[in-house]
Amino acid sequence: MSTATSSFLSVRDLKVHFPTADGIVKATDGLSFDLEKGKTLGIVGESGSGKSVSSSAILGLHRGSSAQISGEILLDGVDLLQVSDEEMRRRRGLDVSMIFQDPLSAMHPYYTVGNQLMEAYRVHNNVSKKAARVRAIEMLERVGIPQPDRRVDDYPHQFSGGMRQRAMIAMGLINNPGLLIADEPTTALDVTVQAQILDLLQDLQREFDSAIIIITHDLGVVAEMADDVLVMYAGKAVEYGPTKDILVRPEMPYTWGLLSSVPDVAADTSSKLVPIPGNPPSLLNPPTGCAFHPRCPHVAKVPGDLCRTVQPDLVTGRQGLGHLKRCHLADPDTVYANEVLPEFDPVLADELADELTAADSNEKGLQ
Amino acid sequence: MTTDELTDRGAGSALTEAKPILRVEDLKMYFPVKSSGLMRRTIGHVQAVDGVSFQVNAGASLGLVGESGCGKSTTGRLITRLYKPTGGSIDFDGRDIAKLSENDLHPLRRDVQMIFQDPYTSLNPRHTVGSIIGAPLAIHKVVPKNKILSRVQELLEVVGLNPEHYNRYPHEFSGGQRQRIGIARALTLQPKLLVADEPVSALDVSIQAQVINLLQDLQKEFGIAFLFIAHDLAVVRHFCPEIAVMYLGKIVEIADRDTLYQRPHHPYTQALLSAVPDVKQAKVGGRRERIRLEGDVPSPINPPSGCRFRTRCPIAQDICARVEPPLLQVGPTHKVACHFPGEMGKHPEKPITPRLLGVDDSGSADLAAGPATELPTGPGYSDTWFDLKNNTMGKA
């Protein structure tokens, strides 16, 4: 891992608060992460956990609203929260761009797809309309739209869902931005189309060496796309680290819950789904202590009233540097291997238990 | 039927022996496409559902999967008779309901209920939860007016909501709770068949599991048969012992869940399954090897000739464009509509269907091949099926 200052994107203690008549909604409350060029970060969490709010803060989309934003967003060494509106407008689309979930509502229905792509290009490049059109066709071809020279004059409604998403990606990448934020890019799509779009994103990332933040609630997408994962709950990061560590040996009960509540196409069908009880908390009045404690089935394992009273810090987990978690549980690995995993995936549970005992005996051997 | 039989997740026997409550045969729904202008002539038809046959046993559940536009929701709406089918029969509990008039349907509505996808738009925002759930009771005059409230409270409790909340409005509930209200409404009249159209896809993952578990518990408790429509293959596999895959208005493969997910024989099912992103991939890193389908689903107004999947199929040959493959039974509880059915990577080199259909290997009519064999086309499974190893019709 490199130091924070040399990262391409470095978010430090980002807070996005919305004052409302009922009080302050802390949509994002102290979020920090780093992202290198050519790497992908997956942000997962339920609706209302602050995933999208944080990413729109990076894009400066809360400027002009009543949102109170603090912290640092360093992109290539420049703090995006400090630059002027004019400067932010210059960077938006050029250095950072975004792909939205629903391309039908994110594209203007009155303009042709080509027109919208050309506009995105001409805002940042002083070129003729003709040259911009050539570039738009080139991008449409790059993202795999058949007959791009004809389709460039179509309106968004004439495209199918998958093609619209491709056009969105073309628009996002037309200026070769260093950072691409994809907010649920495939949620509205069918699985076969989703596979096509994810392939495309990965090819383009390799080609342009861009950093990608992919926001999703689908852990399968994260597993296949992301290098790092950030799990958010009630505006805070609750677990953060390399994808393999987080998804194979998660240490935070919320992540366990996310994993256990999704059926797997290969899992035993007699195993019951283990949902997370209750509902996500209100951000107006988040629970005291650990925000997850009202829904957490493991509160009793922590001595005293710690979960209810003290907010756990984001500390290094048991798997060493780079895996951060926000939880009071003293021995999460054992709980996960013995109690959580057997309920929804007995096969994996056995594997993990074996691994743990092996690791244990190794440690004893070393001593 | 006992709960033991309901929970029996084994394939074979449970699927074939129980009594069907719903038999759908050659169901068709064509929506007219009108021209613009004053005359609004009909210039074509969207063949949303085109000759679908299946059956659902009492207390069992059948899953219907496919991509958007494949006709799975239309099928659900036809069975609840929200649409009037263009053709075919829907045999529910011994009666063909496909052509019944609105009035004759009235008693049927008690037995077939529906759970909708979007809990935000399927509940009237100006009615309290109590009146939403109680409406079916009042309409069908099941219980006297003064007993409705207590029955509503009972139902709220069944679906895991606070019975004291009957006076609240839908907006006061979260998405998951609203979906529970929708489920309570569907349960009010103790239906025999529930059509669940994407019941969890609008919900957060953690809430999805709650609702799926609730539906499973209700099925066990009340013995309701389910037609479970969803695009999420993992959810359908978890819920239904038998699953049908649809593509462009037709069933391309139908089988018990183990066969369908472990040994799919249709290239589309194989592609669909391989496209699902897998959490377990995290251990290995990178993307999973998968079949990549090119392009989009063709328009149902003008579907491809022959096999409808051939334009995107990796193994399509000449015969696929000329002759439509029949939905052929290839195992005790396994039917597939493909000229080259086989496990992934083991598709036969020559089509298996020509002798049955009376054509040659490229699909042209062939007198030497003899007349077409009479193939069973109805719903359900028969005791004889086409043996893929010997290429003949055989018996178990």
Q: Which chain B residues touch A258 with a CB distance below 8 Å?
A: 205-206
Query: Where residue B12 falls among pLDDT bands split at 50, 70, 90?
Result: very low
In a domain, A351, yes or no: yes
pLDDT at res. A286: 87
Query: Where residue B370 falls among pLDDT bands split at 50, 70, 90?
Result: low
In a domain, B195, yes or no: yes
Number of domains making up chain A: 2
pLDDT at res. A2: 42
Give the structural domain span for A343. 244-366
In a domain, B361, yes or no: no
Average pLDDT for A32-51: 91
Reply yes or no on whether the pLDDT at A363 is more than 70.
no
Reply yes or no on whether the pLDDT at B14 is more than 60.
no
Query: Where residue A367 falls among pLDDT bands split at 50, 70, 90?
Result: low
Residue A62's CB: how many other CB atoms inside 10 A?
Answer: 17
Residue carrying the six token digits 């009543």: A66
Q: Are residues A96 and A164 in the same domain?
A: yes
Average pLDDT for B100-121: 89
In a domain, B64, yes or no: yes
**What pairing do the DSSP bridges indicate for beta strands B193-197 and B225-229?**
parallel
- Pick from B67, B237, B297: which is nearest to A263 by CB? B237
What secondary structure letter does DSSP report for A92? B
Nearest to B254 by CA among B378, B120, B340: B378
- Pick from A196, A247, A266: which is nearest to B292 by CB? A196
In a domain, B356, yes or no: no
Query: Where residue B19 falls among pLDDT bands split at 50, 70, 90?
Result: confident
Q: Are residues A53 and A190 in the same domain?
A: yes
Query: Where residue B8 falls among pLDDT bands split at 50, 70, 90?
Result: very low
Query: Where residue B13 falls among pLDDT bands split at 50, 70, 90?
Result: very low
Average pLDDT for A192-218: 89
- Pick from A162, A192, A244: which is nearest to B272 by CB? A192
Which residues does A217 contact at the CB level (< 8 Å), separation at least 6?
A44, A45, A46, A47, A184, A187, B204, B205
What secondary structure letter does DSSP report for B385? E
Q: Could B287 and A198 be called an inter-chain contact, meaning their C-beta atoms sit closer than 8 Å?
A: yes
Quick check: B210 contacting A, CB < 8 Å?
A: yes
Q: How distant is the Cα of B64 from the closest Cα of chain A, in angstroms?
A: 15
CA distance B361 to B355: 9
Which residues does B6 contact at the CB level (< 8 Å), separation at least 6?
B59, B60, B219, B220, B223
Q: Are residues A94 and A152 in the same domain?
A: yes
In a domain, B386, yes or no: no
Quick check: B118 contacting A, CB < 8 Å?
A: no
Helix (H) or strand (E) holding A58: helix A51-58
In a domain, B216, yes or no: yes
Q: How distant is the Cα of A128 from the closest Cα of chain B, in angstroms?
A: 32
Convert the pLDDT of each residue in A315-345 to its tens digit.
888 777 789 999 998 888 888 888 888 887 7
Q: Are residues A93 and A219 in the same domain?
A: yes
Reply yes or no on whether the pLDDT at B146 is more than 60.
yes
CA A285 vs CA A51, A258, A313, B233, B279: distances in Å:
18, 23, 19, 37, 33
In a domain, B266, yes or no: no
pLDDT at res. A187: 79
Chain B residues 231-260 with a CB less than 8 Å from chain A? 231, 233-235, 237-238, 257
Domain boundary among A232, A253, A271: A232
Q: Are residues A216 and A248 in the same domain?
A: no
Reply yes or no on whether the pLDDT at B265 is more than 90.
yes
Give the angle B90-B95-B100 at the CA atoms, nearest 5°: 70
pLDDT at res. A364: 62
Q: Which chain B residues touch A276 with a CB distance below 8 Å?
A: 206, 209
- Pick from B234, B271, B280: which is nearest to A192 by CB? B271
Q: Are residues A207 and A144 in the same domain?
A: yes
Considering only A93-107, A189-203, A335-349, B139-153, which range has the smallest mean pLDDT? A335-349
Quick check: B277 contacting A, CB < 8 Å?
A: yes
Reply yes or no on whether the pLDDT at B7 is more than 60.
no
Quick check: B177 contacting A, CB < 8 Å?
A: yes
* Longest alpha-carbon distance in chain B: 75
Quick check: B176 contacting A, CB < 8 Å?
A: yes
Quick check: B395 contacting A, CB < 8 Å?
A: no
User: Which CATH number goes with the domain that contains B9?
Assistant: 3.40.50.300
Reply yes or no on whether the pLDDT at A268 is more than 80.
no
CA distance A288 to A310: 7
Q: Are residues A340 and A264 in the same domain?
A: yes
Nearest to A212 by CA among A186, A176, A182, A184: A182
Q: Which chain A residues touch B298 with a CB distance below 8 Å?
A: none
Give the structural domain span for B122. 3-252
Query: Where residue B334 falls among pLDDT bands split at 50, 70, 90?
Result: very high
Nearest CA in chain B to A219: B279
Residue A155's CB: how many other CB atoms inside 10 A?
Answer: 16
In a domain, A323, yes or no: yes
CA distance B208 to B211: 5
Q: Does residue B360 or residue A154 have the better pLDDT? A: A154
Q: Are residues A120 and A198 in the same domain?
A: yes
Mean pLDDT score of chain B = 86
CA distance A239 to A230: 6
In a domain, A5, yes or no: no
pLDDT at res. B374: 72
| Segments in B198-330 forming alpha helices (H) | 205-222, 233-239, 257-262, 267-275, 281-284, 318-322
- Pick from B176, B277, B292: which is nearest to A223 by CB? B277
What secondary structure letter does DSSP report for B174? -
CA distance A164 to A141: 13
Nearest CA in chain A to B239: A269
What is the tally of helices (H) and strands (E) in chain A?
A: 15, 12
Q: Is the ipTM of this complex over 0.85?
A: no
Reply yes or no on whether the pLDDT at B395 is more than 80.
no
Which residues does B288 contact at the CB level (< 8 Å), separation at least 6?
A224, B274, B277, B278, B281
Convert the pLDDT of each residue in A132-151 to its tens digit.
999 999 999 988 888 899 99
- Asked whether the beta carbons of A325 and A313 are under 8 A apart, the reply is no
User: Which CATH number goes with the domain that contains A188?
Assistant: 3.40.50.300
Residue carrying the six token digits 């495309």: A200
pLDDT at res. A1: 42
Q: Could B209 and A273 be called an inter-chain contact, meaning their C-beta atoms sit closer than 8 Å?
A: yes
In a domain, A56, yes or no: yes
Which token pair is A324?
């951060």
Which token pair is A253?
């009960």
Nearest CA in chain A to B277: A220
Mean pLDDT score of chain A = 88
Quick check: B205 contacting A, CB < 8 Å?
A: yes
Q: Does residue A230 or residue A5 have the better pLDDT? A: A230
Average pLDDT for A154-162: 87
- Asked whether the beta carbons of A168 and A134 are under 8 A apart, the reply is no
Domain boundary among A199, A232, A265: A232
Quick check: B282 contacting A, CB < 8 Å?
A: yes
Helix (H) or strand (E) holding B112: strand B112-115
- Asked whether the beta carbons of A12 and A82 are under 8 A apart, the reply is no
Domain boundary among A176, A201, A232: A232
- Asked whether the beta carbons of A167 and A175 are under 8 A apart, the reply is no
Nearest to A43 by CA among A254, A213, A255: A213
Query: Where residue A279 falls among pLDDT bands split at 50, 70, 90?
Result: confident
Considering only A116-120, B18-22, B259-263, which range has the smallest mean pLDDT? B18-22
Q: Are residues A215 and A262 in the same domain?
A: no
pLDDT at res. B277: 85
Reply yes or no on whether the pLDDT at B2 is more than 50.
no
Q: Are residues A131 and A208 in the same domain?
A: yes
Number of domains making up chain B: 1
Average pLDDT for B36-64: 89
- Percent of chain A residues topping a pLDDT of 90: 47
Convert the pLDDT of each residue in A52-77 to its tens digit.
889 889 999 888 888 999 999 999 98
Q: Could A248 and B282 be called an inter-chain contact, meaning their C-beta atoms sit closer than 8 Å?
A: yes
In a domain, A65, yes or no: no
In a domain, B322, yes or no: no
Quick check: B151 contacting A, CB < 8 Å?
A: no
**For B184, phi and psi rounded to 5 degrees?**
-60, -40
How many residue pairs from chains A and B have C-beta atoms closer than 8 A? 138
